[in-house]
Structure 1
Amino acid sequence: MFSSPFLLAFPFLLLICFLLYWAGARNAYLRRPAVEEGDPASHEWHFFVPCRDEEAVVGTTVERLRADHPGAHVWVIDDDSEDRTGAIVAERAETDRRVHLVSRRRPEARQGKGAALNAAYDELNQFLAEDTDREKVVVCVIDADGQLDPRALARVSGPAGFGDPETGGVQVSVHMRNAEDPRPLADRGRIRNAFARLLVRMQDMEFSVSNAGMQLLRGRTGSVGLGGNGQFTRLAALDRIAAAERRPWQRGALLEDYELGLHMILNGDRISHIADTWVSQEGLPHGRRFLTQRTRWAQGNLQCVRYAPRIVSSRHYGGKGVLETLYTFLQPVAHLVTLALCAVMFAVLGMTVAEDGFGEAFGGMLALWPLVVVLAVVSVLPFVLWGPVYRRDRAPGSSLLVSLLWGLALWVYAYHLFPASARGFVRMLRGRNGWAKTRRNAEVVTSGPVAVES
């Protein structure tokens, strides 16, 4: 039938694209140059910490930021919390002039993370003197449970970061600080905790080596993306986006961080990724919370497809940057097409079995088993090879065998992208763009759903 060549060719095309991207990311990660540090005193630093019902973690986050980066200002945006988040920060602000509380109330509040960050941007503009050199002011977005490497400001001040006047933004690596927690779910049994440990470990492996490699590859193509945690931006670059788009962070965006990076590059600013410094956060040990988070990311990625025409026609994106960005945009689309093709293939197989019998239908497939084995090895091996790299950089006390098993688990873990993409696409079709915040691991569950769609 006419669809058979396409059914056969499409998976091969996806595999080739994946292997090329993986090879580039791995090479970029393993061959990254040493980071030269700069002088943090050459810039003025402001941390934005968006919060909603974060009393379980916000006090520790503010204390850690002030202790590790005493010259910086900390702006906590309380997005109409119903707990003591605002009170905790207000108490600290009374005795520390570098801690600021940005209070938001409904109906203006709870309009998304981007709106909260825009409110802090407005407050910062009022705080700064008119003669401030805004090229020397840097804003860093930190999650409410985020902990930043004490060396981070020195490293992002260097030539690879804001020491280069062309750099408008810097993204640092993300680590899961509970990756070594033996009981992520203290109130659950051994089997649930084994699953939770593996899930957190996979998130740490994904972010600290695989995603870092992707970002370093994007550094070569001029298409580095900003993340929601550990995102550094030059205030002047935010001003340029605000002048063009009315606000730095876009309202209603589910990936407001990645969108900000797109706008930054479209305006001619460079973004770099520094893998040798980090921000840590809690990995999610709950499968439901994890899938909901990834569904939001997939939906946000699909929303960003609308920028494709602007990127293709932009003089600030080179050919490699255009290809890399389009590849990133189309990942959820590729997952959806793959799911559809699998359904078609099973339907075709079912019709063949009905017409020709079981033996005839599967006889030809069995004859192709060497090709199937080769394709399976080629598909799995790239994930497995991340294992020893992760062991070297993040878990040196683990054995080589364990690291290879982690790599194999990473391959299985990657399949979460298919249901996440499907759920994100369905949500888009239904016009559902609101989200409840993901509950922190330290929060006590009283009633109601956890991190479900609003």
Structure 2
Amino acid sequence: MFSSPILLAFPFFLLACFLLYWAGARHAYTRRSVAEFGDPGAFDWHFFVPCRDEEAVVATTVGRLRADHPRAHVWVIDDDSDDRTGEIVAELAERDRRVHLVRRHRPEARQGKGAALNAAYDELNQFLPREADRERVVVCVIDADGQLDPDALDIVGGPAGFADPEIGGVQVSVRMRNTEDERPLPDRGRVRNAFARLLVRMQDMEFSVSNAGMQLLRARTGSVGLGGNGQFTRLASLDRIAEAERRPWKRGALLEDYELGLHMILTGDRINHIADTWVSQEGLPHGRRFLTQRTRWAQGNLQCVRYAPRIVSSRHYGGKGILETLYTFLQPVAHLVTLALCAVMFALLALTAVEDGAGEAFGGMLALWPLVLGLAVVSVLPFVLWGPVYRRDRAEDRSLLTALLWGLALWLYAYHLFPASARGFVRMLRGRNGWAKTRRNAETVDAGPTAIEA
């Protein structure tokens, strides 16, 4: 029935790539060395907090940053908010000289997170004295709902971070802080809240162990990616990117954080990932908001494919780094091809059923059950094995059985990548590249696809 060798071989090729990548990520995570503390006083720290309609969380975020990191400056970019975000930050800035408000107004405002961060970069340049050592000035991007580990600057300023002069950027681990919220959806019933709790738990598991393992693998290949929360960069590294690209962050990019990391490596700086410190954020309990967020990420990943020729020809990327980056680029493409192959296979199955009868068509499939069972085990087991690792590091009070069930749920959770990739691809084809912020959990109105603009 399925006579095409390519049709048969491609899923096995994808599975082999996935298993190889998973094995490298898990080994990198479980065998990592503990990051040493450094001297945070050797650096001048500046937090960039991009905000748009963030009155629900901004005061808490700024207050926490100032309390935990009193020597740092906090730059809040109000991207022409319609709520009281700017007023709240202005009041904080009047009482604290290390809190700064960067006001933006339309039509220049609301051009994406990258444009907002560029505005803060310009303000920081005007603020710093000319004699400032820009190699020792460090910028950290924090989400409006982000909370940074109180020890983060000690670790990021250590040997694994900016104490190494070759390091231009550092990404710290990301956690979800609402994993123990029993009713993430207070106005909904038990079933919806059970799903919401599991969705938040999966996001925490994904970021804190699975993604951290991928990033630690990338540290070995020289291709670490920067994230939008907990992203640290030397100001001098941003200067080098600005010199080559006109601005540090690309205007209108849907993955301005990952794109910044690509530019940083292309200009000769190294990036490291440190899993021993963290930034926390709210996990999304709403399925619609979650899928919309992941669609944006998939679309942003597809946009970054255009950098492949530059990366392949760059002297700053080694062979392993090129392979890892291309693998990352092509993940949404692989999801789309897999969906297309599934459609072709089901169509061929239907044609066989029409021509030869249902018994002949499905009988041939049943004969392959040992192969199907083996492939299922090999596909599911890597996700399940993340469960005990997650339990060890993030949920010691839970049973091993619970951890294994979480791992099984992680396998099912991973299937969101297929509709997200398909939606992102369709948006690209339609030329829809605008994007609004994902609504915070404290904002209770949920009347449509809140994070997508036309």
**TM-score range normalised by the length of the shorter chain:** over 0.9
Per-residue deviation at 1:363? 1.6
Matching of residues 335-350 of structure 1 within 5 Å: 335-350=335-350
State the AA in 2 paired with 1:440: R
Deviations 1:276-331 (A, max 9, x none): 00000000000000000000000000000000000000000000000000000000
Structure 1 residue matching 2:242: 3-state secondary structure: helix
Deviations, residues 172-203 of structure 1 (Å, cap 9, x unaligned): 00000001111100111100000000000000
Aligned residue type for 2:305: V
For each residue in 1:415-435, what CA deviation from the matched residue of structure 2 results, as whole angstroms up to 9, or x when unmatched?
A: 000000000000000000001
SS at match of 1:32: coil
Report SS of the residue matched to 1:280.
Answer: strand
1:30 paired to 2:51: no
Q: Distance in 1 between matches of 2:426 and 2:183?
A: 35
User: What CA distance in whole angstroms lies between the structure 2 residues aligned with 1:154 and 1:178?
Assistant: 25
Question: Match of 1:233, SS?
Answer: strand
Aligned position for 1:104: 104
Equivalent residue number for residue 10 of structure 1? 10
Tell me the distance in 1 between the aligned counterparts of 2:298 and 2:69: 34
Aligned pairs (5 A) from 1:2-401: 4-401=4-401
Please report how far the alpha carbon of residue 2 of structure 1 lies from its aligned counterpart in structure 2 after TM superposition. 8.4
Unaligned ranges ≥5, structure 2: none
Give the RMSD, CA atoms, in angstroms. Answer: 1.0
More deviation, 230-239/354-363: 354-363
Q: Secondary structure at the match of 1:229?
A: coil
Distance 2:180 2:446 in 1: 27
Please give the alpha-carbon distance, in whole angstroms, between the structure 2 residues aligned to 1:431 and 1:2: 36
- Give, in whole Å, the separation in 2 of the partners of 1:65 and 1:356: 68
Distance 1:2 1:181, change over 3 A: closer
Give the residue type in structure 2 aligned to 1:42: A
Q: 1:223 to 1:449 in 2, by over 3 A?
A: closer
CA distance in 2, matches of 1:193, 1:79: 33
Aligned-partner Cα distance in 1 for 2:29–2:396: 17
CA distance in 1, matches of 2:64, 2:289: 26
Which deviates the most, 17-26 or 4-13? 4-13
2:242–2:248 contact (8 Å) kept in structure 1: yes
The one-letter code of the counterpart of 1:203 is Q
Aligned residue identity for 1:228: G
Determine whether 1:430 maps to 2:405. no
CA distance in 1, matches of 2:116, 2:452: 20
**What amino acid is the match of 2:98?**
R
**AA at the equivalent of 1:197:** R
Distance verdict in 2 for CA 1:2–1:200, change over 3 Å? closer
Distance in 1 separating the partners of 2:196 and 2:324: 33
Alpha carbons 2:255, 2:301 under 8 Å: kept: yes
2:262 maps to amino acid: L
Q: One-letter code of the match for 1:69?
A: H
Deviations 1:72-110 (A, max 9, x none): 000000000010000000001011100000000000000
Residues 423 and 362 of structure 1: CA distance in aligned 2, closer, same or farther (over 3 Å) = same
Q: Which amino acid aligns with 1:284?
A: L
Post-superposition CA distance 1:108-157 (Å, at most 9, x none): 00000000000000000000000000000000000000000000000001
SS at match of 2:144: coil
- Is the Cα–Cα contact under 8 Å of residues 146 and 279 in structure 2 kept in the other structure? yes
Give the letter for the 1:214 counterpart. Answer: M
Does the CA contact (< 8 Å) of 2:224 and 2:261 recur in 1? yes
| Matching residue of 1:407 | 407
SS of the aligned residue for 2:271 comes to strand
- Work out the CA distance in 2 between the residues paired with 1:94 and 1:244: 37
Aligned AA for 2:95? T
Cα shift at 1:6 = 1.2
Query: Which residue identity lines up with residue 270 of structure 1 in the other structure?
Result: R
The answer as to whether partners of 2:434 and 2:452 remain within 8 angstroms in 1 is: no
> Identity over aligned residues, as a percent?
86
5+ long unaligned stretches in structure 1 = none
Distance 1:313 1:404 in 2: 43
Whole-Å separation in 1 of the counterparts to 2:305 and 2:451:
25
> What is the letter of the counterpart of residue 47 of structure 1?
F
Of stretches 180-189 and 218-227 in structure 1, the one that deviates more from structure 2 is 180-189
8 A contact 2:215–2:224 mirrored in 1: yes
Q: Output the CA distance in 1 between the equivalents of 2:3 and 2:171.
A: 43
Q: Report the Cα distance in structure 2 between the residues aligned to 1:21 and 1:75, rounded to whole angstroms.
A: 38
Matched position secondary structure for 2:130: coil
Distance between the aligned counterparts of 1:379 and 1:160, measured in 2? 34
Q: CA deviation at 1:453?
A: 3.4
Letter in 1 for 2:304: C
Q: How many residues align?
A: 454
- Structure 1 CA distance for aligned equivalents of residues 112 and 452 of structure 2: 15
The one-letter code sitting in structure 2 at the alignment partner of 1:18 is: F
Which amino acid in the other structure matches residue 267 of structure 2? N
* TM-score when normalising by structure 2: 0.99
The aligned amino acid for 2:33 is P
Paired with 2:209 and 2:32, the residues of 1 have a C-alpha distance of 12
Q: Cα 1:448–1:202, aligned 2, differ >3 Å: closer, same or farther?
A: closer
Go from structure 1 to structure 2 and tell me whether the alpha carbon gap of 1:263 and 1:449 turns closer, same or farther (over 3 Å shift).
closer
Displacement of 1:381 in angstroms is: 0.2
The TM-score normalised by the length of structure 1 is: 0.99
1:59 is aligned with what amino acid? A
